[in-house]
């Protein structure tokens, strides 16, 4: 290969069907940008793959040239694992088709699809699969790390509904992994992240959902945050099985359902999404409303796809974000005191602390059945997010998230947190998250399918 070839990436262009973008090519800057505006890296080349053959060609080229490999699904990874400085970005955004078989209740989803595409295609048939709460997030990274959302209480994590994957391995082979084909690999991709290969297609099991669901949102001002958090903790267990709750310590958005005088007011939003009838939902949220005495509320039916887009505006493309995750066995008074204190000290209004109880179908799966980083008997998943629109206020927002996490770790008893909310490679937190046994098993599978750690730009498991 001549030096002109390398600069121009001519061999890669010749080997691929999809476009190849080098820094001088039109579209390069757009293609290298990801959701987190704090990430500004320049890959040597971007391979926009149209299928497994393109992925294999990009991997072969990386091997020939020694370029570091990173994989881009929806571009929402918090620390920009999709964008390798000076490396090759295997960009899956053209692989975004979703095909639904309503009879079999199955969806085949391209490795670069967004949740919005998945939800729209499945809801055409009154079906859905558990996924995240912001519709522009990628199915790829979300699923490989676990994937939780409004349907997790009813149907588990996204990985609990995965039937199979089509995956291109480090050596370029394309295989299908399922309960019967490469079962070790299938176990590992259900929680082990992008460590094992490039998933070009996910196959999900679907469930009847909607099309209408019911939202209950009760906003309590920051001054009564402790009361709101304790009330939520004490009453969530009484909710029916088809009602999913969550707690968001936020500033009230300038949304139509928020009275103007409360726009940007800090406080606690207690949310309950009901998947049954309107009457059932009204009855389910009545005790919460009575105990919370909210400043304002929004209780309304809405289409499931609208629910999935409800939080989109608060997480717009290009915002700067830093996230830390934690699991709590219980939402103790001590944890609540720290949460109430720290959320009162946010100086960036977009920063937030989200707390989700992990109950119902989440707990029905045995710990060893998937590589999910977390225990199935843990109580709460917490995401602490420092978020700001500009670099100056982002410095304080990031520090707020770090300090809040530091204060909560002793109460949690461990730095373990959801791998998809980790802000950087943190081997100590990763080991705590998977636990010794699961980490060892993941390292063994990594040793079989990616022994030289080609897929290293992620929450990285070192090959055994």
- Rg (alpha carbons) of the chain, rounded to whole number: 22
Binding of residue 77 to ligand FAD (CB under 6 A): yes
Binding of residue 122 to ligand FAD (CB under 6 A): no
Q: Nearest to residue 130, comparing CAs of 112, 114, 110, 150? A: 150
Binding of residue 386 to ligand FAD (CB under 6 A): no
Which residues have CB under 8 Å from 54's CB, separation 6+? 16, 17, 18, 47
- Helix, strand, coil % in the chain, rounded to nearest 5: 35, 25, 40
Helix (H) or strand (E) holding 186: helix 183-189
Which residues have CB under 8 Å from 9's CB, separation 6+? 20, 22, 44, 45, 61
Phi-psi group of 169: left, alpha or beta (phi > 0 → left; psi -120 to 50 → alpha; rest → beta): beta
Binding of residue 253 to ligand FAD (CB under 6 A): no
Distance in Å from the first CA to the final CA of the chain: 33
Residue 133 or 404 with smaller CB distance to ligand FAD: 133
Binding to ligand FAD, residues 2-41 (CB under 6 A)? 34-35
In the list 138, 210, 349, 373, the residue contacting ligand FAD (rule: CB under 6 A) is 138
Give the interface segment with ligand FAD, choosing from 67-75, 252-260, 328-336, 442-450 (CB under 6 A): 67-75
C-alpha to C-alpha distance for 99 and 395, rounded to whole angstroms: 43
Give the interface segment with ligand FAD, choosing from 4-12, 24-32, 139-147, 432-440 (CB under 6 A): 139-147
In the list 20, 39, 129, 142, the residue contacting ligand FAD (rule: CB under 6 A) is 142
In the list 74, 156, 267, 349, the residue contacting ligand FAD (rule: CB under 6 A) is 74
Binding of residue 134 to ligand FAD (CB under 6 A): yes
Binding of residue 98 to ligand FAD (CB under 6 A): no
In the list 420, 439, 446, 463, the residue contacting ligand FAD (rule: CB under 6 A) is 420
Give the interface segment with ligand FAD, choosing from 18-26, 133-141, 211-219, 324-332 (CB under 6 A): 133-141
Binding of residue 458 to ligand FAD (CB under 6 A): yes
Smallest distance, Å, CB 350 to ligand FAD?
11
Instruction: Show the 3-state SS of 428-452.
Output: HHHHHHHHHHHHHHHHHHHHHHCCC
Binding of residue 87 to ligand FAD (CB under 6 A): no
In the list 54, 56, 57, 78, the residue contacting ligand FAD (rule: CB under 6 A) is 78
Smallest distance, Å, CB 113 to ligand FAD?
9
Counting Cα atoms < 13 Å in the Cβ hemisphere of 308 gives 27
CA distances from 80 to 294, 322, 458 (A): 38, 11, 9
Binding of residue 133 to ligand FAD (CB under 6 A): yes
Smallest distance, Å, CB 178 to ligand FAD?
16
Smallest distance, Å, CB 385 to ligand FAD?
9
Give the interface segment with ligand FAD, choosing from 58-66, 132-140, 328-336, 339-347 (CB under 6 A): 132-140
Give yes or no for a contact between 90 and 72, defined as CB atoms under 8 angstroms apart: yes
Smallest distance, Å, CB 415 to ligand FAD?
18
Q: Give the contact letters, 204-223, x = binds to ligand FAD (CB under 6 A), - = no.
A: --------------------
Give yes or no for a contact between 206 and 215, defined as CB atoms under 8 angstroms apart: no
- Go through the chain and tell me how many residues it has: 464
In the list 82, 177, 269, 285, the residue contacting ligand FAD (rule: CB under 6 A) is 82
Binding of residue 357 to ligand FAD (CB under 6 A): no
In the chain, the largest separation of any two C-alpha atoms, in whole Å, equals 74
Residue 78 or 439 with smaller CB distance to ligand FAD: 78
Report the relative pairing of strands 45-48 and 88-91 from DSSP bridges: parallel
Binding of residue 111 to ligand FAD (CB under 6 A): yes
In the list 16, 81, 269, 387, the residue contacting ligand FAD (rule: CB under 6 A) is 81
The backbone torsions φ and ψ at residue 446, rounded to the nearest 5 degrees and listed phi first, read: -60, -40
Residue 92 or 340 with smaller CB distance to ligand FAD: 92
C-alpha to C-alpha distance for 219 and 242, rounded to whole angstroms: 22
Give yes or no for a contact between 361 and 432, defined as CB atoms under 8 angstroms apart: no
CA distances from 51 to 17, 121, 280 (A): 9, 20, 46
Q: Give the contact letters, 157-196, x = binds to ligand FAD (CB under 6 A), - = no.
A: ------------------------------------xx--
Per CB under 6 A, residues contacting ligand FAD are 34-35, 70-78, 81-82, 92, 111, 132-134, 137-138, 140-142, 144-149, 193-194, 198-199, 315, 420, 458
């Amino acid at each position: 290969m001549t030096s002109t070839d390398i600069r121009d990436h001519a061999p890669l262009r010749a080997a691929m069907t999809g476009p190849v973008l080098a820094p001088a090519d039109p579209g390069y800057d757009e293609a290298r940008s990801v959701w987190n505006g704090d990430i500004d890296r320049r890959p040597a080349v971007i391979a926009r793959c149209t299928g497994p053959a393109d992925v294999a060609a990009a991997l072969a080229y990386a091997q020939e040239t020694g370029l570091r490999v990173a994989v881009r699904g929806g571009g929402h990874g918090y620390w920009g694992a999709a964008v390798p400085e000076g490396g090759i970005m295997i960009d899956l955004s053209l692989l975004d088709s979703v095909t639904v078989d309503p009879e079999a209740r199955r969806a085949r989803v391209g490795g670069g699809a967004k949740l919005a595409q998945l939800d729209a295609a499945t809801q055409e048939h009154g079906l859905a699969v558990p996924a995240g709460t912001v519709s522009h997030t990628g199915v790829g990274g979300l699923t490989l790390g676990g994937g939780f959302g409004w349907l997790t209480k009813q149907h588990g994590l996204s990985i609990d509904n995965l039937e199979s994957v089509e995956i291109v391995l480090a050596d370029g082979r394309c295989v299908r992994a399922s309960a019967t084909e490469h079962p070790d690999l299938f176990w590992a991709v259900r929680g082990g992240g992008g460590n094992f290969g490039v998933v070009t297609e996910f196959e999900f099991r679907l469930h009847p959902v909607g099309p209408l669901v019911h939202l209950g949102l009760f906003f309590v001002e920051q001054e009564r945050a402790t009361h709101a958090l304790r009330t939520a903790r004490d009453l969530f267990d009484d909710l029916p099985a088809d009602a999913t709750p969550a707690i968001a310590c936020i500033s009230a958005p300038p949304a139509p359902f928020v009275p103007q005088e409360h726009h940007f007011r800090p406080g606690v939003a207690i949310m309950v999404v009901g998947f049954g009838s309107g009457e059932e939902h009204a009855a389910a949220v009545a005790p919460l409303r009575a105990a919370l005495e909210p400043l304002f509320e929004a209780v309304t039916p809405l289409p499931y796809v609208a629910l999935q887009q409800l939080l989109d505006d608060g997480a717009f493309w290009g915002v700067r974000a830093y996230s830390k995750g934690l699991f709590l066995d219980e939402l103790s008074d001590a944890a609540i005191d720290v949460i109430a204190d720290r959320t009162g000290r946010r100086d960036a209004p977009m920063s937030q602390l989200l707390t989700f109880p992990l109950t119902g179908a989440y707990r029905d799966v045995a710990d060893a059945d998937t590589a999910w980083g977390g225990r199935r008997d843990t109580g709460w998943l917490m995401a602490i997010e420092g978020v700001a629109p500009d670099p100056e206020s982002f410095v304080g927002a990031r520090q707020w998230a770090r300090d809040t996490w530091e204060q909560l770790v002793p109460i949690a008893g461990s730095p373990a947190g959801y791998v998809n909310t980790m802000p950087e490679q943190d081997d100590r937190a990763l080991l705590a998250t998977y636990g010794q046994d699961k980490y060892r098993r993941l390292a063994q599978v990594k040793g079989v399918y990616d022994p030289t750690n080609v897929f290293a730009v992620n929450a990285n498991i070192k090959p055994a």
